[in-house]
Amino acid sequence: MTFDTDPADSAAPDETPVAAPVDIVTVMVCSSCRAEDGSDARPRPGEQLGDAVRAANGHATIRVESVECLGNCKRRLSAAIVKDNGWSYVFGDLTLDNAADIIEGARLFQWSDNGLIPWRGRPDCLKRGLISRIPPLSLLKEQS
């Protein structure tokens, strides 16, 4: 089953939502990403992106964490979106303006019924900036 909107976001206060998200999604933002000129000045753009994503997140079922390094330095500002029993995604070439898009990608992932972030409706920065998609360990165990 695929949802276009979160019933919990649109339900009246006295109504019970029709469905709930399947999983908690975690967004991990690389806090060590530097400015284009390589400056070590603080706060680094990666720290600023993490703050912007936290500010854009209004969902209790999406966690936003800062991580020290995603090893994607050539593609600058980076973030990963993961959930249990879903594929893990790493994105690069992000900007501070992409905070709401990252949260939108997490919401699409959360409502996905196949463990993938759907291509349709995915913000452009998460299409162009895809670095890697890693299968869940459960998929590997199923194939053994």
- Tokens representing residue 26 in the block: 């975690």
Residue-wise pLDDT for 93-114, tens only, equals: 999 999 999 999 999 999 998 8
Domain ranges of the chain: 22-143
**CATH class of domain segment(s) 22-143:** alpha beta
Give the model confidence (pLDDT) of 27-73 as tens digits: 999 999 988 888 888 999 999 999 999 999 999 999 999 999 999 99
